[in-house]
Amino acid sequence: MHKKNTFWSKKGCFIALIALLTLLSEPLNAQQRSTHNASVAKNLELFNEIYRMLDLFYVDTLSADTVMQWAIEGMLRRIDPFTEYYPEESDDLRQMATGKYAGIGAIIRYVKSLDRTVIAEPYRDTPSSRAGLKAGDIIISVDGKDTKGMDTQTVSQMLRGEAGTTFTLVYKRPDEDAEHEVLVTRETIQLPAIPYYGVLGDGVGYLYLSSFTEGCARAMRMALLEMKNQGATRLLLDLRGNPGGALTEAVDVVNIFVGKGEKVVYTKGKISPANQEYLTTSDPVDTEMPVVVMVNGGTASSAEIVSGSLQDLDRAVIVGTRTYGKGLVQMVRSLNSGGTVKVTTSRYYIPSGRCIQAHDYKHDGTESIVPDSLQKTFHTRDGREVKDGGGILPDILVKKDSVGRSYWQVEASDAFFNWCTRYVKTHPEAVPVEQFALTEADFSDFTAYATEADSTLNADTLMKYRERLTFDLEQELATRYYWNDGAVHYGALHDPHLQDARRLLLDDERMKKILKPEPIKENRK
């Protein structure tokens, strides 16, 4: 029985969590409350009894920590994919909120042919770049521990740690026998929410916002003011692939373009603290500047609040493909155990009154997409029709890239990555990013290298996707030569979808017709 008592003393957080959700439930009438509370108590006792039986009679001794983790993960997995339990202070949770973590500042990847993890991308001005690490460098050991056979998650945990701590990293360059040893000091890494912004010409300012972490709205406000001082009279805001983040940052981003006191979003939940209205509180930077917002299927959460609110307020033209459709809001709550729960507490609604949640979670581990037939019609401030329940449908839809599985096989292959590593080694001097381009001979060399290195790749597939692969190769190489911000800059200059959006932004008449279409005249006879 001693083990059982130890178990519940360690895991009292489980009962505390259930009790918290029960106490905070929407006020019910007396009979409903009594029935609900009785059901909660009955099922908690059932769980207690089952675990006690396992602890006493199961053939092997079970780890209370492990079994409880299974139970919690199983329960939360069937609720929705955003409600998560973190048993202790989590680097991942902290990084989601702040964009910060402690480590060496590099992306790593596993290379199957080596059975090792390699540096995929060192970040500018971080311990990795200062240590001289380059993309393609093979990690041999960390503090004397051989990394052969380890997956990227394991190696990542070894590279991360408290800021200020040091470790010895042994690595080798591709196609070289010599090993290099370097002492690396971990630092707090701040991932930039705005990897790149600048004036592209013709008065078009471009800004890529990658996430909604703390301070991103202030950084964006300052970036826009700087671009306006450099001659920007229009803005192309790129939210493609932005997974969201802090709701309040989203409100502040919208505030850059609309006046003070504007309701941007409101939330509705089961408990009264989850019911909130969020209004703009500051003076805007510019309420007249033409704005185009680029989105895609990876645009989610707070990024959808920004794009959807600017659409509802007829403040920007949205261009791209339908967004992810995450209309749920999470709240982070600390537990007495020291753990944390990120729990879905409400749905959010943007100015037209619509909730753009596209996924219906059945709470049994399954989900479905809200069909178009069940989506309701709402209206923007100037009367344009918009729909709920399916993400943000852009004002201008772009054609999705029609690439097949064979393309993604090439793009994700070790051959693609390794060829870029070899190219940089044989072309150590980089031209300015505006002039960088691969030649026909370069692509022929890539085709020969890739098909020889990987028998699953064939020349016909590479030639079929030649234009797209050339762009992807150039962008990967831009990361190697010009760091992450340079790669985004390269994309801003050469991405065909972005160039189409730029042409739209420069077409005043077309922008006006989209935002304020002519009313339909009745045909009376």
Per-residue DSSP letters for 472-484? HHHHHHHHHHHHH
Query: Among 80, 137, 252, 312, which one carries the catalytic annotation?
Result: 312
Coil, helix or strand at residue 456: coil
Cα dist. 246→61, 139, 229, 303 in Å?
43, 35, 29, 10
- Local structure of residue 391 (DSSP, 8 states): S
Instruction: Check if 301 is active-site.
Output: yes
Angle formed by the axes of helices 2-10 and 30-57, nearest 10°: 130
Coil, helix or strand at residue 154: helix
Dist CA 47 CA 41 (whole Å): 10
Pairing between β-strand 328-334 and β-strand 166-172 as defined by DSSP bridges = unpaired
Coil, helix or strand at residue 427: coil
Query: Among 301, 302, 346, 352, which one carries the catalytic annotation?
Result: 301
Q: Which of 331, 350, 213, 357 is nearest to 273 (CA)?
A: 331
Residue 223 and residue 232 in contact, taking contact as beta carbons nearer than 8 Å: no
Instruction: Check if 312 is active-site.
Output: yes
Query: Among 128, 210, 302, 326, which one carries the catalytic annotation?
Result: 326
Residue 387 and residue 378 in contact, taking contact as beta carbons nearer than 8 Å: yes
The H or E element spanning position 48 is helix 30-57
- Rg of the chain, C-alpha, whole Å: 26
Question: What are the respective helix, strand and coil percentages of the chain, to the nearest 5?
Answer: 40, 20, 40
Instruction: Check if 39 is active-site.
Output: no
Q: Which of 302, 287, 277 is nearest to 214 (CA)?
A: 302
Dist CA 42 CA 60 (whole Å): 28
Torsion of CA 492, 493, 495, 501, to 10 degrees: 70
Question: Which sequence positions are flagged as catalytic?
Answer: 301, 312, 326
